[in-house]
Amino acid sequence: MAELLAFPSACRRCGVLLERPGERILCPACLSALAVCRAPYCPTCGRFFDGDGTPHPCAACLRQAPPLSEHRAAARYEGAVKDILLLFKYRGLRPLGRPLASFLQTAIGDDNPPWRDADLLVPVPLHRRRRRERGFNQAEVLADELSRLTGIPILSDALRKTTNLRPQTSLRSQARRANIRGAYRAVRPDAVLGKTVVLVDDVCTTGSTLGECARVLRGAGAADVRGVTVARA
């Protein structure tokens, strides 16, 4: 304890000293920098539009209905939201799952969120090797916290990632979809049959991961599959 007092920790985002009791990892200013995106969005894929207006379907979703019936993100993947998600995922800062889930709940919880009247929250799985390296699955931590906040049960082993793909970030949208086909398997079809399922992930980039997970869950008999993410690229 004496050591802790002698060397107070610093905010992992901005470096300011964390001196007040209960403060850890992030300072209050960085935590409150988690800002909701108020821009209009596509209710089907969660993509944000520039400018003002009301939510409306985007051209891509009108052209072809995606496998998720709806998707919401709390923010754009930029600024403080991006910094904090990166700290959470790549710096092993698992406790950040709590403020991030509570941000999600505050941001969209009162606005017809995808988890309203849902039966299950299902985190997007990591391949077991990746999960071992990281020590936790960030999507599962978020789903777990969201389950605590909403009372909707989590089913963390509904899906399994069967192939350890090369990082999706290096691929373009079309290549991502091809790369990801067959990468997930529904291992609990009994538990999702006829259910309204909400897929939970930290970030949605092109939608190919969520789309493939939704396709697999629907194939396993889920009645409806929606998605929720903290941020949308």
Q: Is 204 in the site for Zn ion (CB under 5 A)?
A: no
Q: Which helix (H) or strand (E) holds 26?
A: none
Parallel, antiparallel or unpaired: strands 70-76 and 196-204:
unpaired
Chain residues 53-92 in contact with Zn ion, contact rule CB under 5 A: 58, 61
Look at strands 196-204 and 224-232 and give their pairing. parallel
Coil vs helix vs strand at 95: helix
Q: Which is nearer to Zn ion, 55 or 109 (CB)?
A: 55
Q: Which stretch binds Zn ion (CB under 5 A): 24-32, 92-100, 169-177, 199-207?
A: 24-32
Q: Among candidates 197, 204, 195, which has minimal Cα distance to 231?
A: 204
- The piece of 26-34, 111-119, 195-203, 218-226 that touches Zn ion (CB under 5 A) is 26-34
Q: Does 25 bind Zn ion (CB under 5 A)?
A: no
Coil, helix or strand for 138? helix
What value, to the nearest 5°, has the Cα angle with vertex 11 and ends 5 and 15? 100
Provide the minimum distance between the beta carbon of 127 and Zn ion in the complex, in angstroms, as a whole number. Answer: 28
Establish if 210 lies at the interface with Zn ion (CB under 5 A).
Answer: no
- Give least dist CB 63 to Zn ion, A: 10
- Burial call 135-164: b when 16+ CB within 10 Å, e when fewer: ebbbbbbbbbbbbebbebebbbebbbbeee
Angle value at C-alpha 186, between 181 and 188, nearest 5 degrees: 175
Task: Identify which range of 29-37, 107-115, 117-125, 133-141 contacts Zn ion by CB under 5 A.
Answer: 29-37
Pick the closer one to Zn ion by CB: 61 or 124.
61
Question: To the nearest whole angstrom, how small is the minimum distance from the Cβ of residue 57 to Zn ion?
Answer: 6
Which of 34, 37, 44, 213 is the binder for Zn ion (CB under 5 A)? 44
Q: Which is nearer to Zn ion, 48 or 191 (CB)?
A: 48
Interface residue list for Zn ion (CB under 5 A): 11, 13-14, 27, 30, 42, 44-45, 58, 61
